[in-house]
Structure 1
Amino acid sequence: MAVHHETAEELVEEVFLFGRALKLAVGNSDSSLLPPALTGVLGMLSIHGECRQTELASLLCLSQSALSRQLSDLVEWGYITRTPDPDDRRAALVRVSDSGFEILERIKESRVARLSTMLGEWSEEQALAALESVRHLKDTFTDQARHASADYTLIAR
């Protein structure tokens, strides 16, 4: 059975507002460790692993120039390393350094502590139900985005 239009409309708004609320709740608590935008770049790179800057820009939906500035800061602070791509010496591979993994762990610990405090009156069952719902929503969005991207690639050929 399909989701009603009104339900989808409300869900769009709630998901948007949830994103804003999440930023307020846990995103700013660790900004003294690393600005949120750089935390996002470093986090995505830690999940994805070593890659070219163009690939990382695509994953983050950022322009090359915006990502380049962010990577420069992260390199300067020692949180990522750049090495020449052995397959194409004109390109570079970026990866998270040991210091980068350390700062990400500190940020994660800060966020988990803050969220744990905020959810202090929740039961474990409520938290697990929320986790399941958020994960299901994220997986649905990701699957649909991949489908749309694949369809666009086929059309572009």
Structure 2
Amino acid sequence: MECCDRIHEYIERFEAAIFTVNRRLNNIIRDSIQEELTLDQFLTLRYIHKHGSCTASELSETFCVNRSATTAITTRLADKQYITRTPDERDRRMISLRLSEKGKQVYETAASRIHERLEGIIRQLPQTEIEQFLDTSERLLRIITQGGGNER
């Protein structure tokens, strides 16, 4: 029952830690990508790079934003010639988003700078703590995506 007695304390600590870590990591990423991209544009390029291609609807769902926000981001990336839009061969109404060669280069350069910055931070932790943190974070993600943790 101790967990339940301290739940408010845990929530406050969790919110404070997550908020601050996210803000600081986002600042590290912004500093690393400099003027080339916004944070949202970089995250979009990262997603497309990881998956090879995707649709705007997939991006909207993944990033939990409305379709108009995704359209604005992808339009800017297309204007910079970082992504290409190609009609799907099976369903011409679907548009497939892919990285252009220029987009791959910009993404890989930015990702490399981010990796260098984050590596210095992560190396300060013992491997067991890193793995425990990642396991717990991935478990929390599964709980949130499978039902939001609202079950009682």
TM-score by length of 2: 0.80
Q: Distance in 1 between matches of 2:57 and 2:2?
A: 38
Given that 1:44 and 1:60 are in contact with CA atoms closer than 8 Å, whether structure 2 keeps it comes out as: no
**Structure with the largest fraction of strand:** 1
* Alignment: residue pair count: 146
Q: Distance in 2 between matches of 1:49 and 1:59?
A: 15
The reply on whether 1:132 has 2:135 as its aligned counterpart is: no
Deviates more, 1:43-52 or 1:129-138: 129-138
Residues 112, 138 of structure 1: CA spacing in aligned structure 2 closer, same or farther, 3 A cutoff?
same
Q: Which runs of 4+ in 1 moved over 6 A?
A: none
**Cα shift readout 1:89-148 (whole Å, capped 9, x = no counterpart):** 12211122222222111111211233345x4xx8x4725345324422331232113312
Gaps of 5+ in 1: 152-157
The reply on whether 1:76 has 2:79 as its aligned counterpart is: yes
- Which amino acid in the other structure matches residue 72 of structure 1? T
Gaps of 5+ in 2: none
Alignment match, 1:105: 108
The within-5 A match list for 1:29-108 is: 29-108=32-111
TM-score by length of 1: 0.78
After TM superposition, give the deviation of residue 45 of structure 1 in Å: 1.8
SS of residue matched to 2:125: helix
CA RMSD of aligned residues (A): 2.6
Given that 1:28 and 1:36 are in contact with CA atoms closer than 8 Å, whether structure 2 keeps it comes out as: no
Alignment match, 1:26: 29
